[in-house]
Amino acid sequence: MKRAILLGLVLVCAASGCSLNFIKRRLPPPTRQDDGTVLFRFEAPAARVVQVAGDWPENNWLAGQAQTGSYLVGLMEDPDQDGVWERREPLGPGRYLYKFVIDEQNWKEDPNNPVRVDDGFGGFNSVVIVD
């Protein structure tokens, strides 16, 4: 039934010349890279600043290490301005909780990672396991 509705929508859209911009691209969940880092990706085309917040010691949910004095812990980059923000983190083996923070106020779980746990505040933390 759902497939038939979607097919009908696609056919109507194609006949009328509309685009399917409402279908979001799916990014991979965090992945281990050849250099040993973990690559985090988050799509936020309208964001001015995106950060990855997590429970590893160097990040400490954006608190960082007290001696650094940095306010932009976990800062992600979008050098090609395609709306996909990226950051590589040197994480050792373990299980880590994380969220993305958009414009220093909106905390979001990773929509591309189905592995999550209750965050204790009515939402979820995403989970990445590094072997």
pTM above 0.85, yes or no: no
Q: Which residues of 65-95 are buried (b: 16+ CB within 10 A; e: fewer)?
A: eeeeeeeebbebebeeeeebbbbebebeeee
Place of tokens 């880590």: 96
| pLDDT tens sequence across 13-55 | 444 444 444 445 689 999 999 999 999 999 999 999 999 999 9
What confidence score (pLDDT) does residue 116 get?
Answer: 97
What confidence score (pLDDT) does residue 90 get?
Answer: 96
Q: Rounded to whole angstroms, how far apart are CA atoms 7 and 122?
A: 36
Distances (CA, A) of 70 to 61, 67, 73, 74, 98: 13, 9, 6, 10, 19
What confidence score (pLDDT) does residue 64 get?
Answer: 76
What confidence score (pLDDT) does residue 26 get?
Answer: 85
Q: What is the mean pLDDT of residues 89-100?
A: 97
Q: What is the mean pLDDT of residues 79-105?
A: 96
Q: What is the mean pLDDT of residues 87-95?
A: 97
What 8-state DSSP symbol labels residue 40? E
Q: Rounded to whole angstroms, how far apart are CA atoms 95 and 48?
A: 29
What confidence score (pLDDT) does residue 54 get?
Answer: 97
